[in-house]
Each structure stands twice: as C-alpha cells, then as structure tokens.
A and B are shown apart, each in its own frame.
Chain A
C-alpha cells in the first residue's frame, strides 16, 4: 500500500490544482464531511504548494504517449493501480485525521477512456454511497469517455476538470498524438451545459416549492427531491448522495503547460480569457513545464521550470477574474510577453500614467482596483471607511494598501504622499528596485538553498517534543 501510494502520488504531483473551493456544504448527522466555499489547505509541501486534497492517480498505466507526461507509455517506470476500495479507505482514514479536505482523483488511460471513467465512477459511487463521504471531490473527466459516464460522475463530484494540456491545437498535435483539441473541448462543453441545465432545474424546483410548500426551511444539504413530496419529513433511511442532484457544484477548471511549446504570453492569456468567457470555467491553472522526459520536441533535460513566467501569468489571471481587466489591455500582438521585472498591474499603470493620480476619497471601486498596491479587500475597506471619515495615508496603510507601490498613483485629499514626479522612467526605476529581489527568488526557487544550522551541521533541534508537553502538563518540567 505504502509503495502504491508513493508511486501514484508522485505521478499525480504535476497536476497543479489542489483547491477545495467553490462549494459550501454543511455536515450531516449520518455522514462524514463538509465543505467550505473558501477551501481549506491542510499542509504545504516542500515546494510551497498547498496540499488540500489527496491527489492521486487511479493508475499510472496509460495507452497514450504524450511527450511531456511522466506516465507516457514509452517511459520505463513501475506501473501500478489502486482498486476503488483502496482509494475509499485511504480517503476516509486521511479525512478523519484532518490530513485532507477530500479527494482529487486523476488517472492514466487504462485500456480505454470508457473503462477508466467507469473505474472512476465506481470509486466515487462507493465513496459517496457506501462510506457516506460528504467532503470535497475533484475528479478528472477523461477525454474521449462516453458523455453518459461523465454525466453520472458529475453528480457525485464537486469539481471536474479536463486538462487543456497545451495552449494551442498546434502544440497539442505535436506533443500529444493521442489527444485532439476536439476531444478535450467536447466534454468541457458538456459539463458547462450540464451545470447550466442543472441550475435551471434546481430553480424550477425552488419555484415549485415556493408554490406548494410555503415556509419549508432551507436546511443545508437536504435534497430538493425529498422536500418536494408534499412536505413530508425526510425519510428515516439514509439519503443517497446522488439525490442531491447537483451537477459539478464547484464548477470546472483546467490547466495548461507553460514553456513546453513556443506560445507567447499573449496567446496563453487570450486562451485563458476565452475559457472564462466561453466555457465559464472557475479556474484556469498554469503549470511551468518541468523537464522530466528526454525528447527532441521538448526543452532539454535540466531546463529549469519557468517559474517567474508562471507567476506573472497567475497575476494576470487574477486581474482578469477579480479586477475587471481584459487580456487585450495587458498584452498585445506587438507586446506579447510580460515584463519580467514588473508585475502586470504596475506595468499596465506605467503605460497609462494619464489616468493617475487617483483621489482615494472619491474614486469609484473599479478605478481603485486598478491602482497598483490596492487589492480587492483594501478597496472594499476604503469604500466603507470613507463614508464616515476623510482618509489619509496612515489609514490606507492600516487597510492593507501597499503604499510602497500605491503612493505613486494616489492622492489623499488632493495631496500625494511624497514629492514624486509622475514620469515613466522615474516610476519604473522606483518600482523595479522594489521587486527585484523578490523576482529573483521566484525565478530561482529550488535552484539553491541557504545553509541551515540544523540540517548541515547536525545541531539538535531545541524545540520541545511531545514528551516535554506532557511533562509541562504534569508539572515536571
């Protein structure tokens, strides 16, 4: 078991998403688990990435030969598979101990896409109906699997995702001979429609309820179907998870690999924007390519993953989703790459100095959001607080505004903080100096590390162990 877990977790680690967000579900007396919409991270791995879900593959066997993938058929690695029962036990036991928030199940393609999807369905069904697991489940839809199977899995999972793998169809043809753009986009579209139809259906049921059953309390997690039965109390027997009949309530996500193919940042960001608008995805993840396979189509082994580029893309992704920016504002065909030295928002602001400075006591929410150093939270706090008081720079600092950046772009009561010329060269110098060290750190993460007294010189760790705690409790220390 331990070996299997090691292999199948190791093989799953290149999948980026580990979020458990997007759905609120209270616990139930006869089940185990709940979900919170903001998501809960349970640990952080040595690479600093959040560990929220038990992220494993059902199997690392695969019939495909995608060039960038560790599990490709031509790689000589140890192959193994979990049984649905094993996954259930692991999930339940890990969950009870608060190691995880739920399960993230992905898989190589075993025999056929349908067979693999069927196995995934089996696992989820057992987990929900036999083990009565009410926590979070994120599952991969296998490209090319029967839509009917995807539909059924969707009623058991919270989030589904299909990896776009590479930003363009060209890249996909070159690196993933078994997959086509169409095979990936079809189920993505299906899930989008499924979520829509389901939402409409639930709306209808709510309407019906309103007419026939005024005053039925909306208790969390109770099934719409049971309630519809003319106000009878829910049946004594156990409720089946599927009866909740919500389809992929936490929405779908996808990920693409950055740096394995020659797409520009502009292309990637435009694809991202299209996915949000046309496919209504909840999240698009980027994965800096880690050179694991030796192949003439790929960056050479030993190439470092483009972490700073990935970081800039995530920053831009945030600007698209929460700050009202459009991809075309951040990058264009003429300027297709992000500035390595500046974050995308600062970069944008420097190219639009005519819009600044902004008066904090008057500017509307969307304008405040565009100021470097002001985020969603601080903008909201500013709106709230300025109703009862005139704000000054010290107030802003308390609200979480990063004055090191914002001070060049705002006024408080008509005054700027220092005597700064609003002039591009000066500001660029000031802002890049600020970020240089941080950028270097992101770009070089993993390349070198600081020597540590404890690790390198075998100094005893002086922090108290469990023994000492007991001693301190019983007063022996």
Chain B
C-alpha cells in the first residue's frame, strides 16, 4: 500500500517522444498531479519517499499526447511545447507537464495566462530556445568545401539545430550544406534540391570536413568587416551586448589564420 505523501517520479530521456510518453504515463496513472513528477535521466540527486519509474519510449503514446495538445489547446501551444522540449533545462519535461495541466483545463486561452507560473515558465523556455535559434540564424557562418559543399558549425546550449535547418533550407534550396552541432555531434544535412534531415556524424566524417582547406572568401569578408567600423565610435561593450562572445567561436570574422 502506497503512502499518500509518496511521489512517483517518471524518468524519461532527452527526446521529445520520450518526454511526451512520460507525460502520458504520469497522466494515465491517475495518482494526482501533485503526486507525480517527470525527471530527466541525468538528474542524480534522488528524493526520499519517491518511487522511480523508468519510462519506456512509445511513439503511439507520444502521438496521442501530441494530437490532444493540437486539438484541445491549439497549434501555437503545440509549437511552444515542441520548442520547450528542445530547451537545455533539466526541468523541461516536468515544466511541460505542469503547463499541460492548465492547458487541457482552460484550452487555447491558457497561453495568455502569463501570471500563472506554469504558463510563464513555458513561455520562458520558449523564449530562450527561440532567441538562441535566432542568434544562430544570424551568426552561423558557412565555409565552402570541395565540391561546392557548405559547412557550418554551431555549439548551442539548447538543441536548436532542428529550428535552424528549415531557415537555411528555405533560403539556400540549391546548395549542398551541412550544419554540425559540435556539442552534440549531430548534424543537419541538406542535399541540393531535396529535403533536409538530421543525423549523427561519425568523428572521421567530421574530421574530414573540418580539416579541409580554407575558403578564399574568408579574407574578403574579414576585410569588409574591418573596414565597415567607424573608429571614432568604437564601442566593444555594445558589440558584446549584441553579439555575446560565446557565439563568436566559429564566426569567420573572428577566426585566426
């Protein structure tokens, strides 16, 4: 017999599908929202008086949750949940669960209830993910490699690669390009004239790409970049505000060679 204060903690993986499966399981358990919690596998501090239940990823359950969100709370809510699932925060799975409690109760208008902590939290995750993916649309740089292949690198905190790819696929339909998330060793690949896809990249393949010769337009760009600044207005603080240092890691204008 369970104690009534005892919590059940559903432990899920990183992917959206796994998170949604956990939402399904936690909800279907009917233990009551205050007595269930979803955690990511990584978390290492365990709670007392809690039962840990590993979640078995199930596409069917995830699909059901997705459909309910789209039907009952709307497309906008779905895209917010999708983005929140890409967040770097360990709490994201439970944050999504907490939002859905209100979301299924109030319907589409839940999105507007920003004074509600769960709604605000989801918006916060969304904003962080959205902002970071926008930064990489700005600051990502491609290098041309042999055979007209464009190669770009990012190291985002949130898993934004799947949000960045459509932007470039739309913009450069006739280009072969590849974007590598160096932190996660995953890559987005876009063959010219076809759909893009995500894949994980073997170290040898990444090595071949990174070691290739330098691109002739690098120097031209650096020249332009240096010429366009007005010396009398120099303002590194403003520059850092607009373009934080961590985004400069792979930017052509800051590469040394």
A contacts, CB < 8 Å to B: 1-2, 5-6, 9-10, 12-14, 26-34, 40-51, 54-56, 90, 93-94, 96-99, 135, 288, 290, 304-305, 307, 381, 384-389, 391, 395, 398-399, 441, 445-446, 449, 463-466, 469-470, 472-475
Candidates B193, B217, B233; contact of A445 at CB < 8 Å:
B233
B238 and A48 contact, CB distance less than 8 A: yes
Candidates B112, B203, B239; contact of A44 at CB < 8 Å:
B239
Which residues on the A side are within 8 Å of B223 (C-beta)?
Answer: 2, 5-6, 9
B139 and A45 contact, CB distance less than 8 A: no
B172 and A96 contact, CB distance less than 8 A: yes
Candidates A12, A34, A391; contact of B171 at CB < 8 Å:
A34
A97 and B144 contact, CB distance less than 8 A: yes
Candidates A56, A307, A389, A473; contact of B182 at CB < 8 Å:
A473
Which stretch in B13-21, B41-49, B75-83, B246-254 binds the other chain?
B246-254
Which residues on the A side are within 8 Å of B204 (C-beta)?
Answer: 474
A13 and B228 contact, CB distance less than 8 A: yes
- Asked whether B66 is an interface residue with its Cβ less than 8 Å from the other chain, the reply is no
Candidates A1, A464, A470; contact of B207 at CB < 8 Å:
A470
For B211, the closest partner residue in chain A by CB is A470
For A391, the closest partner residue in chain B by CB is B115
Complex-state Cα separation, A18 to B215, whole angstroms: 26
Known contacts A42-B138, A44-B239; decide if A97 and B217 are in contact (CB<8 Å). yes
A470 and B168 contact, CB distance less than 8 A: no
Number of A-B contacts (CB under 8 A): 192
- 23 A-B pairs whose Cβ atoms sit less than 8 Å apart in the complex: A2-B220, A5-B227, A9-B224, A27-B171, A32-B173, A44-B242, A45-B228, A45-B239, A46-B239, A90-B220, A96-B142, A96-B144, A290-B233, A305-B233, A385-B112, A385-B113, A389-B115, A441-B237, A463-B249, A464-B249, A465-B256, A469-B210, A470-B207
Known contacts A96-B142, A395-B115, A398-B120; decide if A26 and B170 are in contact (CB<8 Å). yes
* Chain A nearest Cβ from B176, distance in angstroms: 11
Complex-state Cα separation, A33 to B193, whole angstroms: 14
A469 and B224 contact, CB distance less than 8 A: no
Candidates A94, A96, A305; contact of B232 at CB < 8 Å:
A305
Candidates A43, A54, A441; contact of B243 at CB < 8 Å:
A43
For A10, the closest partner residue in chain B by CB is B227
B203 and A42 contact, CB distance less than 8 A: no
Q: Tally chain B residues at the interface, Cβ within 8 Å.
A: 66
Candidates B109, B112, B142, B185; contact of A98 at CB < 8 Å:
B142
B207 and A43 contact, CB distance less than 8 A: no
Which residues on the B side are within 8 Å of A50 (C-beta)?
Answer: 242
Which residues on the A side are within 8 Å of B153 (C-beta)?
Answer: 469
Apart from A50-B242, A51-B228: 9 A-B pairs, beta carbons within 8 A: A27-B173, A46-B226, A56-B224, A97-B141, A385-B113, A388-B112, A445-B238, A446-B234, A474-B204
B168 and A98 contact, CB distance less than 8 A: yes
* Interface residue ranges of B197-239 to A (CB < 8 Å): 203-204, 206-207, 210-211, 215, 217, 219-221, 223-239
For A291, the closest partner residue in chain B by CB is B232
Which residues on the B side are within 8 Å of A472 (C-beta)?
Answer: 182
For B109, the closest partner residue in chain A by CB is A388
Which residues on the A side are within 8 Å of B174 (C-beta)?
Answer: 29-30, 32
Candidates B171, B217, B241; contact of A33 at CB < 8 Å:
B171
B225 and A45 contact, CB distance less than 8 A: yes
Complex-state Cα separation, A445 to B224, whole angstroms: 22
For B238, the closest partner residue in chain A by CB is A48
A27 and B170 contact, CB distance less than 8 A: yes
Which residues on the A side are within 8 Å of B125 (C-beta)?
Answer: none
Candidates A13, A30, A42, A56; contact of B229 at CB < 8 Å:
A13
